[in-house]
């Protein structure tokens, strides 16, 4: 083989000098970028083989000759040349002229064998590349399937989690709705119960109002019955009132006076430095211990002053409303009849009938005189209070005192027109004389008991309570409803007193 032929054979043996149709570019991954990345990442272990396949170098000539081209003395060459072993061997070894041609033949045979081997190698490479492409496609498909499975598993898990959360949320929602329904039922029950209670309360209030009306009607009927019985049991037809009525009226006056003092004079300050001698003398006569009471019992002292004025100008008068001269004449006539009569009953009946006639015959004249007495009492009270306290008379204070005085006058008249002898009693406190508390006729407004029994062997000077102030008078009754039996004595209302403290 000539050198140019050898050069061409070498160029044909070089894989890099093969025609473009026999060269195969490296196969890149197919599909999306993510798919290519997964294919490249998954096929990282096969990269050395693939690199070896695409950059396969031609084998050395010795290797090719060893594997594909037989040696010159090989049996195949001998068979191919048609010479026997003896002829071929002897001819080649013994003839020096045939050596160059034999070398050329051997080179040509070797080149053909190398070309054939190279072609087989290329075919093998192509086959391997096809197999690699098939495997790569299968691998990519497998990776895609795996990716789809993983994605499907992931989203299936997410779906299951969301479904479980939705189930829990629906369960909690059902529980909340159930709880809300229960609360609505409870609220409706409570509302219904409240409506029932309100209806019951309204019905109770209506019943109470109706019962109060019935009570008032019954009280009025009882009062009318008592009045009718009292009138029907009297032979002369005069109305005689019950003892309970007098006792209740006296208690009402006492409570009213106490409230009047508390409302108008509770914060008044007592000061005797500006009081004149005549007022101090009158106070000493009414309340001997007024200086001591001013420090410890101011309210009780003022009550005692007003009660004493009511006693002098109302209850001690013969019949309030009559002029003083006519009242004195009637009093003297009654005393004369009493001295002439052997029994007090006709005298008391005469007094009752006479004063009833006077009361019913000239009410206008009696009311005019009673109004004058009322104003004189209010003026006297204001004069005393202005002298001993820092207060001044007010319209409200006078308006609160006027009904009390009017009530006292009306009570005094009712007591005098009765056939029984009624006396308004107010124990008098003397300057140098002790007045001992009597539970039968007195009521201690300071809190002491009315029925204290000290026994017979006790020092009465130590244990007996001493009265220091009389805040309101009491009522005593002698005789029966016809004016007789004066030996019987009954306490209708106890006098209210304040006992001296043990301290």
Q: Are residues 308 and 409 in the same domain?
A: yes
Sign of the alpha-carbon torsion through 368, 370, 374, 377? positive
Quote the pLDDT of residue 270. Answer: 86
One domain, residues 278 and 397: yes
For 116-163, what is each residue's pLDDT tens digit?
A: 999 999 999 999 999 999 999 999 988 888 888 888 888 888 999 999
CA distance 303 to 351: 32
366-415 per-position pLDDT tens digit: 888 889 999 999 999 998 888 888 888 899 999 999 999 999 999 999 99
Whether 193 maps to a domain, the answer reads no
Instruction: Give the integer Cα–Cα distance in Å for 237 and 234.
Output: 5
H or E segment at 326? helix 324-340
- For residue 474, the enclosing domain spans 234-499
Instruction: Please tell me the distance from the alpha carbon of residue 161 to that of residue 168, in angstroms, as a whole number.
Output: 10
Q: Is 182 inside a domain boundary?
A: no
pLDDT at 260: 93
457: tokens are 């062997």
pLDDT in tens, 271-292: 888 888 888 887 887 787 788 8
Query: Cα(349)–Cα(356) distance, rounded to whole angstroms?
Result: 11
Burial class, 6, CB count within 10 angstroms (exposed 0-12 / middle 13-18 / buried 19+): middle
* 3-state DSSP helix/strand/coil % of the chain, to nearest 5: 65, 5, 25
Domain end, chosen from 124, 145, 167, is at: 167
Looking at 167, 192, 224, which one is the last position of a domain? 167
Task: Tell which residue, 249, 423, 455, 420, has the closest CA to residue 344.
Answer: 420
Token pair 């005019």 is at which residue?
A: 368
Partners of 478 in the beta sheet? 421, 489
Distance CA(285)–CA(376), nearest Å, equals 20
The answer to whether residue 13 scores a pLDDT higher than 50 is no
3-state SS of 270-299 is ECCCCCCHHHHHHHHHHCCCHHHHHHHCHH
Residue 345 falls within a domain, yes or no? yes
454-502 pLDDT, tens per residue? 444 444 444 578 888 899 999 999 888 777 778 888 899 999 998 887 6
Q: Which of 167, 193, 219 is the last residue of a domain?
A: 167
Residue 176 resides in a domain? no
Residues 240 and 366 in one domain: yes
Q: Which structure tokens are listed for 10?
A: 């070498």
Shared domain for 349 and 426, answered yes or no, is yes
Among the listed ranges 32-36, 164-168, 243-247, which one has the minimum average pLDDT value? 32-36
Q: Is the sign of the CA dihedral 142, 146, 149, 151 positive or negative? A: negative
Q: How many distinct structural domains can be found in the chain?
A: 2
**DSSP codes joined into one string, 370-420:** HHHHHHHHHHHHHHHHHHHBS----HHHHHHHHHHHHHHHHHHHHHHTSSS
User: Do residues 32 and 154 share a domain?
Assistant: yes
Among 298-302, 318-322, 422-426, 432-436, the range scoring the smallest mean pLDDT is 432-436
Indicate if 160 and 239 belong to the same structural domain.
Answer: no
215 belongs to a structural domain: no
How far out from the chain centre does Cα 182 lie? 23
Q: Any idea which residue has 């209010």 for tokens?
A: 378
Instruction: Give domain status of residue 259, yes or no.
Output: yes
Residue 500 main-chain phi, psi, to 5 deg = -70, 140
Same structural domain for residues 267 and 373? yes
pLDDT at position 449, please?
54
Q: Determine how β-strand 495-499 pairs with β-strand 442-444.
A: parallel
- Shared domain for 132 and 48, answered yes or no, is yes
For 171-218, what is the HEC assignment? HHHHHHHHHHHHHHHHHHHHHHHHHHHHHHHHHHHHHHHHHHHHHHHH
Cβ-in-10-Å burial (0-12, 13-18, 19+) of 45 comes to exposed
**Token pair of 500, please?**
């001296």
Q: Indicate whether 194 belongs to any domain.
A: no
Is 197 inside a domain boundary?
no
| Rounded-to-integer distance, Cα 374 and Cα 368, Å | 10
Model pLDDT, residue 194: 92
Closest to 422 measured CA to CA, from 304, 315, 291 = 315
Measuring CA to CA, how many Å separate 51 from each of 14, 36, 129, 407, 466?
18, 17, 11, 137, 138
Tell me, yes or no, whether 110 and 245 share the same domain.
no
Q: Both 122 and 241 in a single domain?
A: no
Q: Are residues 28 and 103 in the same domain?
A: yes
Together in a domain, 256 and 380: yes
Average pLDDT of span 308-314: 91
């Amino acid at each position: 083989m000539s050198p140019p032929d050898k050069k061409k054979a070498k160029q044909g043996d070089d894989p890099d000098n093969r025609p473009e149709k026999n060269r195969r570019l490296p196969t890149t991954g197919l599909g999306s970028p993510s798919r290519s990345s997964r294919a490249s990442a998954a096929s990282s272990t096969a990269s050395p083989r693939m690199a070896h396949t695409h950059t396969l170098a031609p084998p050395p000539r010795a290797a090719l000759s060893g594997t594909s081209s037989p040696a010159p003395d090989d049996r195949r060459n001998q068979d191919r040349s048609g010479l026997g072993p003896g002829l071929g061997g002897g001819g080649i070894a013994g003839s020096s002229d045939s050596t160059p041609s034999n070398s050329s033949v051997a080179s040509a045979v070797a080149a053909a064998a190398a070309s054939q081997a190279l072609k087989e190698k290329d075919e093998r490479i192509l086959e391997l590349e096809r197999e690699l492409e098939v495997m790569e496609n299968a691998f990519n498909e497998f990776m895609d399937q795996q990716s789809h499975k993983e994605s499907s598993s992931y989203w299936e898990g997410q779906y299951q989690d969301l479904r479980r959360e939705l189930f829990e949320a629906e369960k909690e929602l059902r529980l909340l709705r159930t709880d809300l329904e229960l609360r609505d039922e409870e609220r409706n029950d409570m509302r219904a119960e409240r409506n029932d209670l309100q209806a019951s309360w309204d019905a109770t209030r209506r019943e109470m109002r109706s019962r109060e009306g019935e009570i008032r009607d019954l009280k009025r009927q009882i009062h009318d019955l008592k009045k009718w019985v009292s009138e029907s049991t009297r032979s002369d037809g005069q109305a005689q009132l019950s003892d309970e009525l007098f006792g209740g009226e006296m208690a009402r006056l006492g409570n009213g006076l106490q409230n009047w003092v508390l409302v108008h004079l509770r914060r008044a300050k007592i000061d005797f430095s500006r009081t004149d001698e005549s007022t101090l003398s009158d106070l000493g006569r009414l309340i001997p211990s007024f200086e001591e009471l001013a420090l410890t019992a101011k309210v009780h002292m003022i009550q005692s002053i007003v009660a004493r004025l009511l006693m002098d100008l109302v209850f001690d008068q013969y019949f309030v409303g009559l002029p003083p001269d006519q009242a004195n004449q009637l009093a003297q006539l009654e005393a004369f009849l009493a001295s002439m009569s052997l029994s007090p009953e006709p005298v008391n009946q005469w007094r009752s009938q006479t004063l009833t006639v006077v009361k019913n015959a000239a009410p206008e004249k009696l009311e005019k005189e009673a109004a004058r007495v009322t104003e004189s009492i209010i003026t006297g009270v204001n004069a005393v209070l202005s002298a001993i306290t820092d207060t001044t008379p007010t319209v409200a204070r006078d308006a609160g005192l006027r009904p009390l005085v009017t009530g006292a006058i009306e009570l005094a008249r009712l007591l005098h027109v009765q056939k029984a002898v009624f006396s308004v009693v107010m124990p008098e406190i003397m300057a140098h004389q002790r007045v001992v508390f009597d539970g039968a006729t007195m009521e201690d407004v300071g809190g002491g008991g009315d029925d204290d029994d000290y026994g017979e062997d006790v020092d009465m000077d130590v244990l007996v309570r001493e009265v220091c102030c009389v805040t309101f008078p009491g009522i005593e009754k002698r005789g029966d409803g016809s004016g007789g039996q004066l030996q019987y004595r009954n306490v209708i209302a106890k006098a209210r007193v304040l006992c001296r403290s043990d301290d």
